[in-house]
């Protein structure tokens, strides 16, 4: 059904306000420098976390959990994602999705099944390829952003901050653009060294998001979150 590289049985963080299980799908077309799930970038067809066993677990958690989040890696690369989501819905759970928007056409095909989307918008367009390692990746991400906003689904747009990749001004410029096109919920999250394989980023990481930047970002969105 799905190529699954990890499974979290209970989370209150991966879908804000919703108690959920999290399925970590394998495979991703981008190679973001700050990725902290690098073990999921390649599709290994790992059978340790079988879809059938997860289904049995979910059947036992119907009165405890509210939703199931499909994360990754990049879930949109899963051929059977829509079928898996429908099976989760049939069990009585809401569906959440973490995505970088790498496949806007696929996102458009499955978004009717999703209750909430956490969408990574990684940078202004001119900085995108440096982060993802893939040309024109930002164009696809912003196409996906339009799909999310047009869908009227609940969502969170989020950006990961590292001073070697995004300056404070870069972040403010991006946030101003996102605000101007109608984004309501925006989260800025600090780089996490754990799981990252880029030694240069790890060595150069220093906290740099200050109160002034956060205050300016807070003015731009009805809902702004900083995850330090």
| pLDDT tens digits, one per residue of 175-193 | 999 999 999 999 999 999 9
Q: How far, in whole angstroms, is CA 64 from its chain's centroid?
A: 24
pLDDT at 162: 97
pLDDT at 47: 58
Q: Over range 97-110, report the average pLDDT.
A: 98
Q: Over range 83-111, report the average pLDDT.
A: 98
188 CB-contact burial (10 Å; exposed 0-12 / middle 13-18 / buried 19+)? buried
d(CA 41, CA 27): 5
Give the CATH fold of the 4-227 domain.
Answer: TIM Barrel (3.20.20)
Q: Residue 42's pLDDT band (boundaries 50, 70, 90)?
A: confident
Question: Which one, of 105, 99, 54, lies nearest residue 73 by Cα?
Answer: 99
Q: Where are the domains of the chain?
A: 4-227
Q: Over range 149-174, report the average pLDDT.
A: 97
Q: Residue 39's pLDDT band (boundaries 50, 70, 90)?
A: confident
Residue 103 pLDDT exceeds 70: yes
């Amino acid at each position: 059904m799905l190529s699954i590289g990890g499974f979290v049985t209970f989370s209150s963080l991966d879908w804000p306000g919703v108690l959920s299980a999290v399925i970590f799908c394998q495979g991703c077309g981008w190679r973001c420098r700050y990725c902290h799930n690098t073990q999921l970038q390649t599709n290994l067809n790992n059978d340790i976390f079988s879809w059938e066993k997860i289904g049995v677990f979910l059947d036992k958690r119907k009165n405890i959990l509210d939703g199931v989040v499909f994360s990754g890696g990049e879930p949109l690369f899963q051929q059977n994602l829509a079928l898996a989501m429908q099976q989760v819905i049939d069990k009585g759970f809401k569906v959440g999705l973490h995505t970088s928007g790498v496949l806007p056409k696929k996102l458009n095909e499955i978004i009717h099944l999703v209750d909430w989307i956490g969408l990574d918008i990684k940078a202004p367009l001119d900085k995108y390829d440096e982060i993802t390692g893939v040309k024109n990746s930002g164009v696809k991400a912003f196409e996906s952003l339009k799909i999310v906003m047009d869908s009227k689904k609940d969502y969170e747009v989020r950006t990961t901050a590292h001073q070697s990749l995004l300056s404070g001004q870069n972040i403010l410029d991006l946030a101003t653009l996102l605000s101007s096109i109608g984004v309501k919920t925006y989260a800025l999250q600090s780089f996490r060294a754990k799981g990252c394989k880029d030694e240069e980023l790890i060595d150069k990481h220093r906290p740099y998001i200050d109160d002034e930047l956060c205050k300016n970002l807070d003015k731009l969105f009805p809902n702004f979150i900083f995850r330090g």
